[in-house]
Amino acid sequence: MAECLIRAEKVSKHYRLGEETVRANDEVSLEVTAGGFYALTGPSGSGKTTLLDILGCLDTIDSGRLTAFGRDVSRMRESQLVTVRRGNIGFMFQDFMLVDTLTVRENVELGLALSRSPGSPDRVEEIIGTVGLHPRRGHLPKQLSGGERQRAALARALVSSPRVLIADEPTGNLDSRNSEAIYSLFKELNEREGLTIVVATHDAELAARAGTILSMIDGRIVP
């Protein structure tokens, strides 16, 4: 049986908006096992982003229990969570979020430096090659197409060789051809290198390419 990397047990995250309490995540239980490829689907506002933030040790939880990489992170503060993230988790976002003053290579180098992972210039070149951006490595984000930017963001997320890639609607701003390219890369990295992936998406067709599809409604995972 595969190793369990992240385990959520009845994890909840609430927001108070005046009188009302929004249950962004409502007693969610989930296991992310090594080598898995998970797709989170569900309507907007169903809690996908919240769950990804929690699984990615980016956000704190209000109740329940969260174990990540062998550590109980349920009560950790943000300053402690950052050490859990480093080298374990890579992030991708819908709007790429590259540093726009830095070139592709510098963005990837920054990802490596901030994660405190051992890595060489070779590793940076290698990962840029993996996402097919070698010819564009000296370009600034604004000189790239959306698809290229998202591939640069993928390289930045993976340069530190994290165990889990968390991607929040990574193809939300891309056309179908570029979306297809990103998912092909995901599939390849998952199958060839055993990268664990958790991705949120609206697109049922893309979700179908994942090993496990999880549907969310109103902050809960529905069977």
Ligand X SMILES: Nc1ncnc2c1ncn2[C@@H]1O[C@H](COP(=O)(O)OP(=O)(O)O)[C@@H](O)[C@H]1O
Binding interface with ligand X (CB under 6 A): 15, 17, 22, 24, 42, 44-50
Q: Which of 96, 97, 103 is nearest to 137 (CA)?
A: 103
> Amino acid identity, residue 200?
A
Region of 44-52, 105-113, 123-131, 133-141 interacting with Mg ion (CB under 5 A): 44-52
Distance CA 46, CA 3 (A): 28
Q: How far is CA 5 from the centre of its chain?
A: 14
Out of 12, 49, 88, 178, name the contact with Mg ion by CB under 5 A. Answer: 49
Nearer residue to ligand X within complex by CB, 148 or 168: 168
Distance CA 197, CA 202 (A): 16
Nearer residue to ligand X within complex by CB, 44 or 120: 44
Partner whose binding site includes residue 45, from Mg ion, another protein, ligand X, none (CB under 5 to 8 Å by kind): ligand X
Decide: is 160 part of the binding site for another protein (CB under 8 A): yes
Structure letter (DSSP) for residue 210: S
Query: What tokens appear for 192 in the block?
Result: 């060839």
Residues that bind another protein (CB under 8 A): 49, 53, 56, 58-59, 78-79, 82, 85-87, 91, 93, 97, 99, 101-102, 106, 109-116, 156, 160
